Structure 1
C-alpha cells in the first residue's frame, strides 16, 4: 500500500476534495427516506439509527480528523453533522407520541457514548490516541452500516426490502469507495480498513435489492 500511496500522492488534494463533495451529496440521500416517512405520515417501520448514529459518528470522525490534522475530513464531517441533525429533527416530528420515549432513549445512549469517547480522546496518550480512537470509531461505523442487516430474517420472511434506505446505501457505497482511495493515499490503515469493510457491507445490502423487491409481498398481491 505504501508504494501505491507514493504514486497517488500528487492526487491527494483532488481525491480529498472529491471525497468531501460526494460525502456531502451522499448525506442528502436521507431526503429520500424522509420523503418516504412523509408519504406514510409516520416514522413507524423506519429506524432512527441512521440519523441519530449519523450525528454521533460525524462528531467522532471530526475529532479523529482533528487528531490526523486532515482539513478535508473535518469539513465533510461538520457539514454532515448539520445535515444529520436536520434529519433527526424531521424523524422526531413524524414519530408517534407513544414511540417518542424510545426515540429519546436512543438519543440518550448516542449522547452518552459520544461524550464518553470524546473524553477518552482527551485522556489517552497522544502517541496512541489516533490509532486507538480510529479503531473504536471504525467498529462503530461498521455497526451502523450493518444495522439494516440485523433485520435480515424479517426481510427474508417478507421477501421484501421495503424500509431499507436504498439511496443511502447506494450513495454510501460510492462515498466509501472514494474515502478508501483517499485512505490509500494517506497510507492510513484505519481509514482504508473502515472504508473497505463499509463498501463490502454496503454491497451485500445492495444485493438484497436485486434478490427482493422494494415493496411488501402482501402489498403486491392486492
Structure 2
C-alpha cells in the first residue's frame, strides 16, 4: 500500500474521480429534460435523488471534519447542488401524492436524520473520535448504496435480460468507485477506500452479467417480437374471416361489405339466388 501513499497519486485519482462522478451526476439530465418537456414525472420516483443528496451531504460533513480532502469537498458540493436541482424540478412537476411523499422524505431523511447525526456527533464526541464516528456512518451508508444494485443483479439472472441494467451507467459507476477507492488508499483513509472497493466488485459483477446475458436478451426480445407478429397475423386472419361471414339473404350486409371494401358494385337483392 506504500506505493499508493503519495499525495500525487491522491491528487490524480481525486481529479479523475471528480470528473467521472460529475458525469454520473449528470446521467439523469435526459430524464429531467423529458419531465420538463412533458410537464409530468411520469411515474418516476424521487427516492434515488433523495438518497444521492443524503450521501453527498454526509460525505461533505465528513470532508469538513477530516480536512485536507479537498477533492471530496468539491465533488460532494457539486453533488448537493445537482441533486437539489433535480428534486426541485421533481417537486414542480410531480402529482400531489408524489409531491407530499417527497416533501416528507426530505424533511424526515435529508433534514431530520442528517441533522440528528450532526447534533449527536458534536455533542457526544470531539476531535479524532468525531471523525471516526462520522467516517463509520459514511462507510456503512456507502456500502448500502453500493449494495443496492444486488436487486438488479438478481432481476437480470431471473429474467436473463439486461434491459434494466444499462452497461454505460454500470461502467461509469465502476470507474468512479475505482478512482475513489485508490484515492482513499493514497490518503490512507479506509472509510473512503473500503466501500469503493466493494463498489468495484459489484460493478465488475454487473458488467460480467451484462456480457453473459446481452445476447440472450436479444434472442428473448426477438422471440417476443416474433410472437407479437404471429399474433397480429392470426388476429388479422380472424378478422378477415369474420368479415367474410355474410348472410346472402340480407342485402344490407352485402352492400355494407362492398362499401367497406371500397367496392362501388351494389348487388341487387333479386340477383341473390341460392
User: Could you state the TM-score of these two structures normalised by the residue count of structure 1?
Assistant: 0.79
Structure with the larger RCO, 1 or 2 (CA within 8 Å, 6+ apart) = 1
1:97-138 per-residue CA deviation (whole Å, 9 max, x = no partner) reads 333333333323322221112223322232212222111111
- Alignment of 1:29 onto 2:27: yes
How far did residue 171 of structure 1 move? 1.7
- CA contact 2:156–2:164 (8 Å) conserved in 1: no
Tell me the residue number matched to 2:109.
110
Q: Which residue of 1 aligns with 2:128?
A: 127
Q: Does 1:179 align with 2:180?
A: yes
C-alpha distance after superposition, 1:41-77 (max 9, x if no partner): 5342x44232111111111101111122111211111
Distance in 1 separating the partners of 2:76 and 2:182: 18
Structure 1 residues 203, 121: closer, same or farther in 2, change over 3 A?
Answer: farther
Query: Quick check: 1:60–1:137 contact (8 Å CA) kept in 2?
Result: yes
Q: Paired residue for 2:148?
A: 147
- 1:78 paired to 2:83: no
For residues 27 and 205 of structure 1, the distance between their equivalents in structure 2, rounded to whole angstroms, comes to: 20
- String of CA shifts for 1:125-163, please: whole Å, max 9, x gaps: 322122221111111122223334346665555554555
Q: Secondary structure at the match of 1:42?
A: coil
Give the Cα–Cα distance (whole angstroms) in 2 for the partners of residues 219 and 49 of structure 1. Answer: 35
Write the deviation string for residues 73-104 of structure 1: whole angstroms up to 9, x where unpaired: 11111011101111222333443333333333
Measured on the aligned residues, the alpha-carbon RMSD in Å equals 3.2
**What corresponds to 1:95 in structure 2?**
94
SS in 2 for 1:73: helix
Range 78-87 or range 169-178, more displaced = 169-178
How far apart are 1:202 and its partner, in Å? Answer: 3.0
Bigger mean CA offset, 84-93 vs 50-59: 84-93
Q: Equivalent of 1:66, from 64, 69, 73?
A: 64
TM-score with structure 2 length normalisation?
0.66
Compared CA separation, residues 133 and 90, structure 1 to 2 (3 A): same
Unaligned runs of 5+ in 1: none
Query: Among 4, 14, 17, which residue is 1:16 paired with?
Result: 14
**What is the Cα deviation at residue 198 of structure 1?**
1.8
